[in-house]
Structure 1
Amino acid sequence: MATTDYQPADARLLEREQKGTWQQWLGVAALVYLLICAVGMIGSGFKAATGDQAEQLFAFAINPFAGLVVGTVATALIQSSSTVTSIIVGLVAGGLPVAVAVPMVMGANIGTSITNTLVSLGHVREKKEFSRAFSAATVHDFFNLFSVVIFLPLEIAFGLLEKTGKLLAQPFYGGADASMSSMNFVKTATAPVVNTAKNVFLSLGDPLGGVVLALFGIALIFLSITLVGRLLKKLMVGRARDIMHTAIGRGPLSGILSGTLVTTLVQSSSTTTSLMVPLAGSGAFTLKQIYPFTLGANIGTCLTAVLAATAVTGNAEAALQIAFIHLTYNVVGVIVIYGLPFLRYLPVRAAEWLGQTAAENKSVALAYILGVFFVIPGVCLGVTALA
C-alpha cells in the first residue's frame, strides 16, 4: 500500500525530468542554430569591414608558422578549439585566404590540449598519481605536435590539405558562387536572422558596421558554444563516461571510435580528454589504453566547424573547404601516426618521460605549460612580426 501511495509522486517526478530533458535538447538545437547564424555574421561583417583587403590585413600570418602560433595561442587562451575554428570558418567566408587559415586550424589542435593538462595538476600531491595523470594529459599534446611536424612541411611544400579540402568541398557546389545544393535548407533557415543582423549593423556604414557585425558574431559564438557545452555536459557527460569505461581497453579501433563519438556528443575535445585524466591518474587504465581515445577526440571536435560552414554567406565554398581541411587533417593524422608502427607510440613515450620528470620536479610541469602554450609561441610570433 505504501508503494502505491508513492507512485503518483514518482510518476510526476519522472514526467518533470523528461520534460526538463526535452527542454534541454531544444535548448541545444536553438544554440546550434545560433552558432551557425553567428558564423554567417562574422563572414558578412569581415567582408564588409575589409572589402578586398582581407589578405593584407592578415599579411603577418602569411608566414605559416605565424598562423600556427595564432591558432595555438588563441585556443589556449579561450580553451575551446570549437570556438576558434568556427571563427576561422567565418573569417574564411569573409575573405581570409584558405592558405593562411590552414596553419591556424593546426594550431587550434595544439592549443586545445591545455585544458586537460591543467586538469592533471589536480593530482600533483601524489607523486605516482601525478606522473600517470600528467602523462595522460600530455600525450594529446605530443600527438598534436608530431602531427604538425609531419603535415605542416607537407602543406607548405605541396598544399596537400588545401587541395584535399577543396576536392571534398566541390561536390556540394554547382559553381564558385553557388550555394550548397544538398544543405541549402540550413542557409535558408538561418537567412532571416543573419540578414536582420546585417541590415541593423551594416547601416552604420563601412567599415564600422562590418567590424561591429563581426564582433557581434564572435560574441554569439562564445555565448552559444559556452551554453551548449554546459547543456551537453548535463545531458551527456554521464553517458560519455559510461561509453569510455565500456570502450577503453577493448582495442585501439574501439578507443578511437568511442573518442570520436563522445566528443561529438559533448562537442568539446577538452571535456572528453579531461574526463580520462582522473581515470589514468587512479591507474584504472594505462596510457596505451587511453591514447586511442585521445585520437578519436581530435576527430570528433571537427563537427562544429563543418556545421558552421553549411550556412555562411560570401565565400561559402572556401568556408566549407577549411572545415573539411580540419577534418581531413585530424583523420589523416590518426591514420599516419597511429597506423605506422615506428611512429605509433612516440607520443606515448614522450608523455611518459615528461610525466615522470614532472613528478620528480613540479616546476617542470609549470614550465612546460607556460613554455609550450604561451612563451615559445609568443616569441615566435614576435620574431616573425619583426622579420
Structure 2
Amino acid sequence: MKRLTQALPKGGLWNVLGLIISLVLFFTSLDLLGEAFELMGEGAAETLLATTANPITGFLVGILATTLVQSSSTTTSLTVALVASGTLTAVAAIPIMLGANIGTSVTNTIVALGHFRNIEEFKRAFKGSMVLDFFNIIAALLFLPLEIFTRILSWSATQLTNLLTGAGAVDLFSPLDYIVEPIANFIVGLTQETGWIVLIIAFGLLYLSLQGLVKSLKAILNEDLEEKVKKYLFGSWWQAMLFGLMITIAVQSSSITTSVIVPIIALGVVAAIQALPYFLGANIGTSTTALLAALSLASNGDAEGTASLMVALVHMIFDIYAIILLFPIKKIREIPIWLAEKSGEFVTKSRAVAIAYIAIIFYALPFAGIWLTRDLDIATFYEPTLPQEVEQLRQEASANDGNTQNTNNSGSQSNNQK
C-alpha cells in the first residue's frame, strides 16, 4: 500500500478523498437498487423460490430472483433459509444456486451503462462486464445437465456436508454495512418505501458516483500508479483471483466487487482478460455468505439444517469446479472473452440496444422460460445424492404425501357412496 500511495501525484490527497466519497455513493446506489427492486417486487423473489417445479424452472428462477434483488448472496441465503424451514426441498434448491450466479452479473452490466457519454469507455465497460455473463452462462449450461444426469455437484456437496455437519458457524461482518446501510435506509425512509422513487434516486446516485469515480481515477492514476496496480493486483491470474475473493468475503457482496472494477476497465487500466480471474474469485467469495448461514443452521445436526448446508456447498463447489474445468485451458478461457467482445460491439451501438440486452437476457428470457417449463416433469428422473438425514426426511415427506392422497381418495369414495 505504501508503494501505491507514494506514486500519487501532487494534490492527490483531495482526489483520493473524492474517490472515497464517490465509492460510498456508488455502494449506496447499488444498495438502493436492490432495495428498489425488493420494494417493487413485494416478496416476489421469495415467492418464486418457494414455487420451483423442476430443475430447469429452478435454474431460471435462480436467475430471475437474483436480478430482482440485485444480489446472489441474498438469493442463496434466502434459498438456504427456505430449505432450513422445510419450505423448499434440497432437490429443488440445487438448480436455483446455479442460476443465481448468472443473475448476479446484472448489476455490473447496469453499471456499465453509466459510461454511455464516452463511447470508448462505454465499449470497454460493457465488454468487461459481459465477460462474467458469458463465463457464468457457459458454466451453468455445462453443469446443469451434468448435475441432472450424473449428480456430480450434489454428490460432492454431500461428502463435504458429512464432514462439516455440527462444525458450527463463523460470523463475518461487512464494514460497508455500518457506512452504506444507514445512508440507504435514510433515503428509503424519506421516500416512504416507494419503490419507483427509490429506483430513480438509485440510478441518479449511480450516474453521479460513476462520474466522480472516473474523474478521481483519471486524476490519481498516472502511468506509474497504473503499472503498480497491474503488477501488484492483476499481475497474474492468481493475484487477481485472490484479490476478487478477499474483497468479496470482506464486503459480502459479489455485486459490489464486480461492479467497482467496471470503471477501471472502462478507463483501460485493466483489460477484460485480466478482470476475468478477478470476477471468478468474486464468484467463489459470494458463496461464503450462504455457507456461513448454513453452518449455523446445521450446527444442531437436524435434517433441515443439514440440507441447507448441503445446498450452500453446492453453490461453492459449482464455482470451484467451473474454474477448474473452464479456466486453465487457454482456448476455453478465451471463449467468454471472444463472445463478450463480439456481443459488446453490437450492444454498445446505442443505449437503447444496451438497455434491451439487459431487459431481455436478465428478465424477459428467464420469465418466459419459467412460464414455458413450469409443467415439465423433469423431476421424475433427477435424483440428486443427498446426506442420509436429508434422504430420510425426503422419504418421510413422500410417504406423508402418499398417505394424505390415499386419505383424500378414501374420503371422496365414501362421499360418493353416500
TM-score, normalised to structure 1, is: 0.67
Q: CA RMSD in A?
A: 3.0
The answer on 1:263 being equivalent to 2:254 is no
Aligned residues of 2:59 and 2:97 also touching (Cα < 8 A): yes
Between the aligned partners of 2:354 and 2:179, the Cα distance in structure 1 is 28
The answer on 1:293 being equivalent to 2:278 is yes
Distance 1:88 1:293, change over 3 A: same
Secondary structure at 1:301 match in 2 = helix
Residue 213 of structure 1 corresponds to: none
Displacement of 1:368 after TM fit? 1.1
Distance 1:325 1:228, change over 3 A: farther
Between the aligned partners of 1:151 and 1:296, the Cα distance in structure 2 is 19
Distance 1:278 1:338, change over 3 A: same
Write the deviation string for residues 1-43 of structure 1: whole angstroms up to 9, x where unpaired.
xxxxxxxxxxxxxxxxxxxxxxxxxxxxxxxxxxxxxxxxxxx
The answer on 1:136 being equivalent to 2:128 is yes
Residue 297 of structure 2 corresponds to: 312
Write the deviation string for residues 67-102 of structure 1: whole angstroms up to 9, x where unpaired.
011111111010011111111111111232222111
The code of the aligned residue for 1:128 comes to E
Residue 258 of structure 2 corresponds to: 273
Larger deviation, residues 373-382 vs 309-318: 309-318
Distance 1:153 1:113, change over 3 A: same
Query: Alignment partner for residue 339 of structure 2, among 341, 347, 350?
Result: 350
The answer on 1:66 being equivalent to 2:51 is no
Residue 180 of structure 2 corresponds to: 230
Unpaired stretches in structure 1, ≥5 consecutive residues = 1-45, 47-56, 174-179, 190-223, 234-240
Displacement of 1:244 after TM fit? 6.7
Write the deviation string for residues 327-367 of structure 1: whole angstroms up to 9, x where unpaired.
10111111111022331111111111122212223332112
Displacement of 1:310 after TM fit? 1.6
Query: Alignment partner for residue 117 of structure 1, among 109, 114, 131?
Result: 109
Displacement of 1:115 after TM fit? 0.5
Between the aligned partners of 1:369 and 1:128, the Cα distance in structure 2 is 20
Between the aligned partners of 1:81 and 1:337, the Cα distance in structure 2 is 21
Residue 361 of structure 2 corresponds to: 372
Between the aligned partners of 2:283 and 2:324, the Cα distance in structure 1 is 12
Residue 337 of structure 1 corresponds to: 326
Secondary structure at 1:284 match in 2 = coil
The code of the aligned residue for 1:115 comes to T
Distance 1:149 1:358, change over 3 A: same
Between the aligned partners of 2:72 and 2:240, the Cα distance in structure 1 is 21
Displacement of 1:231 after TM fit? 6.5
Displacement of 1:227 after TM fit? 3.7
Between the aligned partners of 1:144 and 1:371, the Cα distance in structure 2 is 17
Between the aligned partners of 1:112 and 1:228, the Cα distance in structure 2 is 23
The answer on 1:250 being equivalent to 2:230 is no
Aligned residues of 1:81 and 1:108 also touching (Cα < 8 A): yes
The share of aligned pairs that are identical, in percent, is 37
Write the deviation string for residues 75-134 of structure 1: whole angstroms up to 9, x where unpaired.
101001111111111111123222211110111111111110000001112111111000
Residue 158 of structure 1 corresponds to: 150
Between the aligned partners of 2:159 and 2:53, the Cα distance in structure 1 is 23
Displacement of 1:232 after TM fit? 12
Aligned residues of 1:232 and 1:265 also touching (Cα < 8 A): no
Between the aligned partners of 1:139 and 1:228, the Cα distance in structure 2 is 32
Write the deviation string for residues 214-250 of structure 1: whole angstroms up to 9, x where unpaired.
xxxxxxxxxx9994683699xxxxxxx9997664431
Between the aligned partners of 2:254 and 2:230, the Cα distance in structure 1 is 17
Residue 76 of structure 1 corresponds to: 67
Distance 1:147 1:334, change over 3 A: same
The code of the aligned residue for 1:112 comes to T
